[in-house]
């Protein structure tokens, strides 16, 4: 049983018991904003989370106090920047229990991380007829890179189904595995349905079939502990901005033997060992995948975000969010004509829904006037919308600073939507 399932079975946790959420909210300056003269209720964390002052201050301190380009500089500023940049890499390694920080490749985000794997490992090791297995729940970032590889190499892309509640169908997935399956690439948590996939079992069965496994952890790392050594995946990717850090930076984790078997992704500074006009040799991982000047200030913020999350504790965050999820689910289900899309047995703090007679864009606009920020649309998951026969959903996604009072504000605004379209 996963952490989310255990908490659900226990009845979740009162949002004031896990930690003092109102004290935590004081760390987020933006939450003091008024929107249309209403207090901001920010429920779009699945798209991007807000940043605590600890992250903001760390990035400001870098810009004001020691910013310089990193690596190879022999002056004090460069040395300080390099130290802080590598401290962020070490923080990531600690956060996911990597064996060494050399297993942590700094990328522009989750999207680039998947593209990197497809364009390097996939291009080198996959041949015509080899199969990549994904799910119908994928973000476009875990579909399009494999389609590009298919156009180039002639690989076969297979898709594992789900049931009407959004549960992952393990038997159907296993039936799609074969000796032709070379890569299995799946989300840890669906960004639309909130479904928590049984990734341990997926990894075990995929490895038994001889396939490498990539786990998209963009939606999971803010909500649950990740131990890549225990998990046993071959690649684990995530972004900073959903983890209360800055945009423009993310992570590709993989064991060193896999990383060093992969060719470079881009060419330029930092990733080289020696360059001549006749030949270039490359650095070992992680630097061979980090061409050019990296996101230095963002890395400092990323490290600060991880430190912040660790101080609160992911167990406490999970308990808080599952309590919110249960409360919000009960409240929204009581609204006549509102249908929740995704009712998996094991689910994280995301609720997607539609309403009779009300277009999702109208839902988003109307409740915005009440100060409530949610996401509407296909959420970069158009094939999943096709699976349910809908153009999109409204989506409320909860974070560590959200409260039951904010759930009540969401409920009240949706009642107003219902009344307007009655």
CATH code of the domain containing 246: 3.40.640.10
Q: Given this model, what pLDDT does residue 110 score? A: 98
Q: Given this model, what pLDDT does residue 85 score? A: 97
Residue 361 lies in a domain: yes
C-alpha span between 364 and 370 (Å, rounded): 10
Q: Given this model, what pLDDT does residue 2 score? A: 52
Which residues, including other chains, have CB under 8 Å from residue 30's CB and lie 6 or more apart? 40, 42, 50, 51
Domain that holds residue 410: 3-32+313-420
**407 in the same domain as 358:** yes
Give which of 347, 142, 137, 140 is closest to 235, Cα–Cα: 142
Domain boundary among 283, 310, 337: 310
**370 in the same domain as 294:** no
Residue 44 lies in a domain: no
C-alpha span between 42 and 37 (Å, rounded): 15
Which residues, including other chains, have CB under 8 Å from residue 341's CB and lie 6 or more apart? 166, 192, 193, 352, 353, 354, 388, 390, 393
**137 in the same domain as 7:** no
Helices (H), 212-342: 228-231, 256-259, 296-312, 314-333
Residue 149 lies in a domain: yes
**237 in the same domain as 113:** yes
In 88-227 the beta strands, taken as DSSP E runs, fall at 104-107, 131-135, 156-160, 181-187, 212-216
**366 in the same domain as 268:** no
For the stretch 112-130, what's the b/e string if a residue is b when 16 or more beta carbons lie within 10 angstroms of its beta carbon? bbbbbbbbbbbbeebeeeb
Domain boundary among 310, 337, 365: 310
Domain boundary among 295, 310, 325: 310
- Whether this prediction's pTM lies above 0.85 is answered by yes
Residue 40 lies in a domain: no
Residue 243 lies in a domain: yes
**101 in the same domain as 156:** yes
H or E element in which residue 274 lies: strand 272-275
Q: Given this model, what pLDDT does residue 66 score? A: 96
Residue 296 lies in a domain: yes
pLDDT digit of tens for each residue in the chain (422 aa)?
A: 454 444 444 444 444 467 899 999 999 999 999 999 999 999 999 999 999 999 999 999 999 999 999 998 899 999 999 999 999 999 999 999 999 999 999 999 999 999 999 999 999 999 999 999 999 999 999 999 999 999 999 999 999 999 999 999 999 999 999 999 999 999 999 999 999 999 999 999 999 999 999 999 999 999 999 999 999 999 999 999 999 999 999 999 999 999 999 999 999 988 999 999 999 999 999 999 999 999 999 999 999 999 999 999 999 999 999 999 999 999 999 999 999 999 999 999 999 999 999 999 999 999 999 999 999 999 999 999 999 999 999 999 999 999 999 999 999 999 999 999 97
Residue 380 falls in the annotated catalytic set: yes
CATH number at residue 399: 3.90.1150.10
Q: Are strands 393-397 and 212-216 parallel, antiparallel or unpaired?
A: unpaired
Q: Given this model, what pLDDT does residue 9 score? A: 41
Residue 50 lies in a domain: no
**228 in the same domain as 89:** yes
**139 in the same domain as 259:** yes
**175 in the same domain as 73:** yes
**279 in the same domain as 236:** yes
Active-site option among 312, 366, 380, 415: 380
Q: Given this model, what pLDDT does residue 1 score? A: 42
* Structural domain count of the chain: 2
Q: Are 9 and 386 in contact (CB under 8 A)?
A: no
**213 in the same domain as 92:** yes
Residue 349 lies in a domain: yes
**318 in the same domain as 274:** no
């Amino acid at each position: 049983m996963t952490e989310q399932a255990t908490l659900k079975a226990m009845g979740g946790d009162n949002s004031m018991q896990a930690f003092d959420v109102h004290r935590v909210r004081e760390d987020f300056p933006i939450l003091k904003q008024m929107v249309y003269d209403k207090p901001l209720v920010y429920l779009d964390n699945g798209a991007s989370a807000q940043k605590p002052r600890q992250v903001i201050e760390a990035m400001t301190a870098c810009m004001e106090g020691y910013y310089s380009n990193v690596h190879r500089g022999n002056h004090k500023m460069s040395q300080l920047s390099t130290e802080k940049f590598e401290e962020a890499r070490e923080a990531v390694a600690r956060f996911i229990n990597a064996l060494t920080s050399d297993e942590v490749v700094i990328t522009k985000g989750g999207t680039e991380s998947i593209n990197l794997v497809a364009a390097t490992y996939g291009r080198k090791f996959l041949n015509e007829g080899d199969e990549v297995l994904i799910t119908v729940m994928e973000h476009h970032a875990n579909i399009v890179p494999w389609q590009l590889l298919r156009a180039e190499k002639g690989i076969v892309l297979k898709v594992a189904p789900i049931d009407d509640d959004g549960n992952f169908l393990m038997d159907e997935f296993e039936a799609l595995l074969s000796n032709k399956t070379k890569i299995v690439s799946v989300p840890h948590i669906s960004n639309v349905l909130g479904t928590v996939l049984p990734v341990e079992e997926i990894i075990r069965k995929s490895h038994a079939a001889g396939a490498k496994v990539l786990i998209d952890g963009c939606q999971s790392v803010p909500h649950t502990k990740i131990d890549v050594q225990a998990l046993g995946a071959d690649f684990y990717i995530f972004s900073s901005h959903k983890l209360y850090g800055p945009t423009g930076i993310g992570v590709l984790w993989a064991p060193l033997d896999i990383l060093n078997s992969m060719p470079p992704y881009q060419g330029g500074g930092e990733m080289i060992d020696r360059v001549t006009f006749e030949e270039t040799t490359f650095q070992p991982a992680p630097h061979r995948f980090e061409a050019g000047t990296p996101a230095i200030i963002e890395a400092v913020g990323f490290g600060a975000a991880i430190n912040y999350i660790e101080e609160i504790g992911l167990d406490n965050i999970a308990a808080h969010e599952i309590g919110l999820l249960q409360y919000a689910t009960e409240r929204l289900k009581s609204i006549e004509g509102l249908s929740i899309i995704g009712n998996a047995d094991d689910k994280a703090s995301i609720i997607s829904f539609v309403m009779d007679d009300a277009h999702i864009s109208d839902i988003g606009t109307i409740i915005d006037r009440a100060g409530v920020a949610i996401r509407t649309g296909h959420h970069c998951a158009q094939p999943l919308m096709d699976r349910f026969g809908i153009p999109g959903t409204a989506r409320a996604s909860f974070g560590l600073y959200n409260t039951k009072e904010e759930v009540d504000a969401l409920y009240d605004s949706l009642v107003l939507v219902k009344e307007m379209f009655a």
